[in-house]
Amino acid sequence: MSLSKTSNFPAWCEKNGELGKKLSREYVDKDKPPTAVTKASHYKAKWKCSNVECKHVWRAKVNNRTRSHRPGGCPQCANNAPASKTNNFLVWCEKNGELGKKLSREYVDPDRLPTAVTKASRYKALWKCGRCSHEWHARLHHRTTSDKPSGCPECKMP
Ligand SMILES: [Zn+2]
Ligand SMILES: [Zn+2]
C-alpha cells in the first residue's frame, strides 16, 4: 500500500502541534518508516520516550497514540506518576496482605516517606530485613512486582 504524502504519519505530526512534534520524535520503528504508516494505523510501532530521564522503549499502535481522546503515553512514565493520597506505597501495602505488611515494615528509607513513593517507583529505597536485620537498597518496583518480588540479598528471604 502506498500512502500519499499528505496522509502519512509525518504529515499528521506536522499539523498537530506539540503532540505531533513529540510523536514524530518518539517514533523509532526500524521496520516501518514513519512515512509508511498513518495516524490511524493499527500497526504496533516502536516508540522511545522523549523524557530524558526515562527513555523507555515500548510498542504501541499508532492510532492509540494519535487519538484525540486520551492518547496513550509512555507506560513507564505513567508508572512513575507522582504519589498521591490514594496512590502511594503505604496504600498499596494495606491492600496487599502479608507481602504488603512485610514491605511496609521493612521500608526504612530515611529520605522519602512511604507515602511519597509508589509501588511502581524506580526509586532505590533503603530496606531492613525483618529476619536478619540486613540493610540494603532496592528499587520499589523490584520488591512489589507480582512476578518474583526481590527479597533480602543476605538471607535470601523472598
Ligand atoms: Zn517515559
Ligand atoms: Zn535478611
51 CA distance to ligand 1 middle (Å): 6
Assess if residue 56 is contained within a domain: yes
1: cell is: 500500500
23 CA distance to ligand 1 middle (Å): 12
- Its domain, for residue 119, covers 89-144
What is the rounded CA–CA span in Å between residue 11 and residue 81?
Answer: 31
* Plot region of 37 (φ>0 → left; ψ -120 to 50 → alpha; else → beta): beta
Instruction: Give the model confidence (pLDDT) of 56-82 as tens digits.
Output: 999 999 999 999 888 899 988 877 777
Taking ligand 1, which is a single-atom ion, which protein residues have CB atoms under 5 Å away? 49, 51, 54, 56, 74, 76-77
Number of domains in the chain: 2
Assessment of whether the complete model's pTM goes beyond 0.75? no
120 CA distance to ligand 1 middle (Å): 13
Assess if residue 152 is contained within a domain: no
Instruction: Give the model confidence (pLDDT) of 141-157 as tens digits.
Output: 999 988 888 999 999 86
Assess if residue 62 is contained within a domain: yes
Assess if residue 134 is contained within a domain: yes
Shared domain check, 96 and 133 = yes
